[in-house]
Amino acid sequence: MVTTDQAKNMRNKIDIEGTVERMEEPRSVNLKVGGTTEVCNAFLVDEAGEIKIALWGEDIKKVKNGSKIMIKNGYTNTFKNEVSLGKGKYGELIVKEY
């Protein structure tokens, strides 16, 4: 497991756990392959700090503010100078406490 501060300097294969805080309202986005899906920004908080996470599609319904989660094999992306964490295609989101 890595901390939020360590994750910000990594690109992929990130295993991290923490508490979901400050979930934004989901919004609809267009997919490159066509169609739309929902995306929701939130923050994953641990003892080292926080990192923005992007929750997509069905994952949004799995968590709420205060949920304790683990992301296995996640990756980071930088957009507008802000690092965010996602589970990606090959990652896994595990809800430990809803």
pLDDT along the chain (98 residues), means of 10: 94 97 96 94 97 96 96 94 93 92
Q: Output the pLDDT for position 3.
A: 95
Question: How many residues make up the chain in this entry?
Answer: 98
Specify whether the CB–CB gap between 67 and 45 falls below 8 A.
no
Angle at 73 between CA 85 and CA 42, to 5 degrees: 25
| Number of domains into which the chain is organized | 1
Q: Distance (Å, rounded) from C-alpha 57 to C-alpha 70?
A: 17
Tell me the whole-structure pTM to 2 decimals. 0.90
What residues make up the domain containing 85?
A: 4-97
CATH number of the domain residue 9 falls in = 2.40.50.140
Which helix (H) or strand (E) is 19 found in, with range?
strand 14-21
